[in-house]
A and B are shown apart, each in its own frame.
Chain A
């Protein structure tokens, strides 16, 4: 069995994020996630600090590590200079590397994020762009959003935008050579490998769950499940 604490220590965010925790709980007091989810960052840090391999494995397969919103408010408040959110980020990275993320409902959502924001990076050179925000997936955007999509060119032209055109300006088209440099950076630094890891484990999980899975796109049962499903009780 792998020693999970040793693997975590290879992530400098973990080294930076956990010095010595005295369990005061201020991180939990300030945490927006702890207010609405059944979530306690103090307990996560305590579990990792104790170093019990079985307990850390449970954590890596749990819903708990996926509740943090990475607002980083805990960084400001910890009297010992720890950053529980950085500990959570290193746990999430390890959970994905080891394929444990598909064991939890919230962890499985990494597939939905990879297929949307992740792939936008290669497609458009942006994480988010107007034309990639579908109203049926973002009803909170309200009626103004469909209006913006229906009238994009006129709206962005008046506001100085450069939608889908080369040159300077908001929403300009990112040149192909710049996107190619992004792809190479992802290949060399492990970004592409993480994308592939998410895909491989998600495909396996979809088969286990008997859900349709396509190698591309978001119109498949597994994507829809990971994007919309909230069947477990996550709140207090």
Chain B
């Protein structure tokens, strides 16, 4: 349970959905599973307008997009939401989520910024907007409905070979609740959004010294090749700290964190031969939708685990998931595709 002061109000239905640049590029199956879960399994109304764009958040946090500009881009999304008759927004990206919350707080403390944004948006597009009633990250919704997922679990987070709970590291994107704790489930100090899922689905949450350290994205510190030592070093710090606790998987709620903690494990292995999992393996890094889908018994190759650099077969075996290796690199209509070489754990 989360203490009352750390609860977050999460609406039950009727969401305007906005995508993430990084998630739709690197984890498209996660975004689609979220929509399937909400619409087809839980019977919720989630609307996507194809005309919504990037929030420009990566540009903003790399300091090439001004604050006035990003406020107005967000306002355009609110205008599309108003035009479609929605008052709740579900945001796929943690960087975007941080920006939406930063802007809401800015408009509360500096009402003149809200008025200026209204003028800018009207001048640029002729559109008008309302401030949303409920702002949630998509992981908030999976958290909210975690027990319904648990009730439908085919493969709970139990090691089938030992009968013990799987050991799960949860990593929450910094911009989810470090900027404005009140917008996150459990705030910045006691975040429950992922640990709540893990416990509900039968796993054991691992605590370790660098649990709340940044994954190392650092925006310009990754985007520019010359700076990537910063990004990689922070990831090494995290994985070195968690290694002794023998995690079976890492669960994340942030697009960048998922990608970096997956790809930097490959890089570290290439550079130094270092791995952080058992038996010289690397640790699978999953999104919360990927994990929910596995727990519910979906085909791992329909949600995209095969396009990670660190492959998930060790985890699938521990969970006792029956999977078809020959289906892994096939097209939607079953045609065999080329098989990539040198993926990790495969």
What mask results when residues 171 to 195 of chain A are scored 1 for a CB within 8 Å of chain B, else 0? 1101101110110111111110011
Q: How far is the CB of A209 from chain B (nearest CB, A)?
A: 16
Total A-B pairs, Cβ < 8 A = 253
| Interface range on chain B (Cβ under 8 Å from partner) | 35 or more
**Does B321 have its Cβ within 8 Å of any Cβ on chain A?**
no
List 19 A-B residue pairs with CB atoms under 8 Å apart, sorted by A's residue number: A16-B109, A36-B233, A71-B175, A89-B63, A109-B226, A110-B63, A117-B59, A118-B65, A148-B307, A154-B337, A159-B307, A160-B29, A178-B52, A178-B53, A181-B76, A182-B73, A191-B68, A228-B226, A230-B227
Instruction: Please tell me which stretch of B156-164, B198-206, B263-271 contacts chain A, meaning at least 4 of its Cβ atoms lie within 8 angstroms of it.
Output: B263-271
Q: Are A185 and B120 in contact (CB under 8 A)?
A: yes
Contacts of B264 in A (CB 8 A): 140
Q: Are A93 and B73 in contact (CB under 8 A)?
A: no
Q: For window 113-140 of chain A, which residues contact chain B by CB distance below 8 Å?
A: 113-114, 116-118, 121, 125-130, 133, 137, 139-140
Residue of B nearest to A131 (CB): B25
Question: CB within 8 A of B110: which of A12, A114, A229?
Answer: A12
Q: How far is the CA of A44 from the CA of B31 in the complex (A)?
A: 40
Q: Are B343 and A143 in contact (CB under 8 A)?
A: yes
What mask results when residues 15 to 28 of chain B are scored 1 for a CB within 8 Å of chain A, else 0? 00001011111101
Contacts of A21 in B (CB 8 A): none
Q: How far is the CA of A195 from the CA of B179 in the complex (A)?
A: 27
Ranked nearest first, the 10 interchain pairs of A and B with the lowest CB-CB distance are A69-B218, A160-B32, A170-B24, A170-B28, A191-B69, A127-B58, A147-B340, A159-B29, A184-B124, A71-B214
**Does A18 have its Cβ within 8 Å of any Cβ on chain B?**
no
What mask results when residues 206 to 249 of chain B are scored 1 for a CB within 8 Å of chain A, else 0? 00000011101111110111111111111001000000000000
Q: Is the interface of B mostly helix, strand, loop or mixed?
A: helix
Q: How far is the CA of A148 from the CA of B125 in the complex (A)?
A: 36
**Does B174 have its Cβ within 8 Å of any Cβ on chain A?**
yes
What mask results when residues 69 to 85 of chain B are scored 1 for a CB within 8 Å of chain A, else 0? 10111001000000000
Question: CB within 8 A of B21: which of A16, A126, A161?
Answer: A126
Contacts of A227 in B (CB 8 A): 224-226
Contacts of B31 in A (CB 8 A): 160, 170
Q: How far is the CA of A164 from the CA of B57 in the complex (A)?
A: 21
Q: Are A69 and B48 in contact (CB under 8 A)?
A: no
Q: Is the interface of A mostly helix, strand, loop or mixed?
A: helix
B→A interface (CB under 8 Å): 19, 21-26, 28-29, 31-32, 48, 50-54, 56-59, 61-69, 71-73, 76, 98, 106, 109-110, 113, 120-121, 123-125, 174-175, 178-179, 181, 188, 212-214, 216-221, 223-234, 237, 263-264, 266-267, 301-304, 307-309, 330-332, 335, 337-338, 340-343
Question: CB within 8 A of A140: which of B73, B125, B228, B233?
Answer: B228
Contacts of A73 in B (CB 8 A): 174, 178, 212, 214
